[in-house]
Amino acid sequence: MKREKSCGALVYRITPNGQKELLFIKHRHGTHWSFPKGHMEEGENEVQTALREVKEETGLDIDLEGDFRQSVEYYPKPTVKKQVVYFLGHAKNDHVVRQEEEIGETRWIPLEQAHTWVTFRNDKNLINKAKKILLPE
């Protein structure tokens, strides 16, 4: 069994009226919305990979929330087990410059609507966990 590991982040911003929004990306040849992520490179730790991948795919610098680290595992192919570690990051600005070779579209979506934009249960679970931090009761 081949094992792969990627890292990424759920990136959020706060609008001038105080609304929290998540950044979604759609890969150039993909059909679903998700979050920036990518493979770890030699010598990187999880945080370094997540920060690099967000910057490469969106042009954004982010500050990570210290209490959020979620790991998701799935099988993209029968012989491949993939682990993706996600962090939660606040965008230092909200001017997205997408990586045109890989990313087809980007969208800022209000956090309350975010779960309707994703296809996979893992992504819905990530959004619910982010809401617990970003929308405390």
Question: 15-48 pLDDT, tens per residue?
Answer: 999 999 999 999 888 889 999 999 999 999 999 9
- Express each pLDDT in 48-99 by its tens digit: 999 999 999 999 999 999 889 999 999 988 999 999 999 999 999 989 999 9
Q: What is the pTM of this model?
A: 0.94
SS3 label, residue 26: strand
* 8 Å CB contact between 97 and 20: no
CATH 3.90.79.10 is the classification of domain 2-134: yes
Domain ranges of the chain: 2-134
CA–CA separation, 55 vs 96, rounded Å? 9
